[in-house]
Structure 1
């Protein structure tokens, strides 16, 4: 091998060595940055506890909302009691009927109870399904609620809350959000009304049938039973913040 060739190899070796050193340095710097970021984010705690901490925060906030709603209901009842003698028609049959129609009075009677819950963790996926199909979503609960209203439900409750026709349910992670409160599965929907008509409405709902098909194939819970129900009065606001009457009306 000639002198020029040996010198070329030496130069190539030095260049590769410098490149390797630079690459190692860059990797070490990046690793240090990641460790520093992780330590700053964790603030000395285990990042794996973040999910449990978030659930605790959600539970605390849900409890706070429940306490505030109870205060609002108590204050509203006090206002109604103080102003009842001055309001024309207060305590009349018409006023009572209006309270029932607006869901602001307790309701009792026969009806249906529908329970929805996730499939067992060890469930095997049937062809055509994905992992997300093994859990109950907000649209599944909303489909049952809509079908029961369509079936003539006089009053309805989701979990421990009375709901009205404009109540929406939303998924937040693995929990269900209803009027500011958060609930894990199983989800219980209660509807006061004629049981046969309510069952017929569930049977005729295309969205409910999609959930029932997934329940058969994946093991999700879909349980319907009759019961004598007692539902509390709706304690939320009836004001529609985003609705207005057109000028032409």
Structure 2
């Protein structure tokens, strides 16, 4: 039969801790250990100091929280105000472009020379992507992949859209727009914070790339190019959404008039 111990034997360790709270090596110079009361006072002071420091830190955070939230609110208001201003300016530019087109049509009407100039302006406008166009083409829709731990690996980047546009141009696209924004010779696709922009206008997901071109060659040219190779890799390895569809008729808006930097008078 196993011997039973004393009822209070399990309390020996706890009693020893209270009776001798410090290690035996920490003794007074006269060889006697410090008293339990003095050790308890030291522990109490340490705990009090720690609590005081935590309380001061919490109080400081509580005081600074309203200021941080106020700064965020002001920043959001400034962003919204700038977005509204940009939208108003874009609308004004569109209205002025329409006035210019109307004035040009009125001036270049009446004789054969004016008709020739009008045809030449139309041809140059198509090359500069500054006139609206309509025709068959290809639609590519892309979006971010499932959320993971790979950082931006599952997100569509500005460089991904740049390579898609370049691949479509190489495949024979005559006009391209992304989310309704026409791409021209000087169009910039950039990333600003968490948003991708086209000429400083933010795009929202998903990203829809529309390209007008010869339906017999545009799709095959794209699939054989470097752009399709990249997007197949992004879809298969990172789960990005990547879908293509042919369209019998697309209508793309006119692009922005580019600023004239230099010009020469022809002979």
Question: 1:233: Cα distance to partner?
Answer: 1.0
1:200-239 matches, within 5 Å, as 200-227=220-247, 228-234=249-255, 236-239=256-259
How many residues are matched?
A: 229
Instruction: Encode CA deviations 1:121-141: one digit per residue, 9 max, x unaligned.
Output: 5xxx6xxx8253222222221
Provide closer, same or farther for how the CA distance between residues 163 and 207 of structure 1 changes in structure 2, counting only shifts above 3 A: closer
Q: Greater relative contact order (Cα 8 A, min sep 6): structure 1 or 2?
A: 1
Name 1:40's counterpart in structure 2: 67
Which is greater in Rg? 2
Answering whether residue 92 of structure 2 is matched by residue 71 of structure 1, we say yes
1:132-211 matches, within 5 Å, as 132-211=152-231
Name 1:29's counterpart in structure 2: 56
TM-score (norm 2): 0.69
SS in 1 for 2:141: strand
Provide closer, same or farther for how the CA distance between residues 196 and 57 of structure 1 changes in structure 2, counting only shifts above 3 A: farther
Name 1:85's counterpart in structure 2: 107
Instruction: Confirm or deny: 8 A CA contact 1:143 1:208 kept in the other structure.
Output: no
Match of 2:142 among 116, 120, 125: 116
Instruction: Confirm or deny: 8 A CA contact 2:186 2:258 kept in the other structure.
Output: no
Match of 1:96 among 122, 130, 133: 122
TM-score (norm 1): 0.73
CA distance in 1, matches of 2:98, 2:60: 58
Query: Which runs of 5 or more residues in structure 2 are unaligned?
Result: 1-26
Instruction: Encode CA deviations 1:173-198: one digit per residue, 9 max, x unaligned.
Output: 54322223222211101111123433
Query: Which runs of 5 or more residues in structure 1 are unaligned?
Result: none
Question: 1:66: Cα distance to partner?
Answer: 3.5
CA distance in 2, matches of 1:233, 1:144: 20
Q: Detail structure 1 runs of 4+ shifted over 4 Å in the superposition.
A: 5-20, 56-64, 86-91
Question: 1:106: Cα distance to partner?
Answer: 1.0
Name 1:4's counterpart in structure 2: 30
CA distance in 2, matches of 1:203, 1:68: 39
Question: 1:74: Cα distance to partner?
Answer: 1.5
For the aligned residue pairs, the C-alpha RMSD in angstroms reads 3.7
Instruction: Confirm or deny: 8 A CA contact 1:167 1:179 kept in the other structure.
Output: yes
Provide closer, same or farther for how the CA distance between residues 3 and 171 of structure 1 changes in structure 2, counting only shifts above 3 A: closer
Question: 1:219: Cα distance to partner?
Answer: 3.5
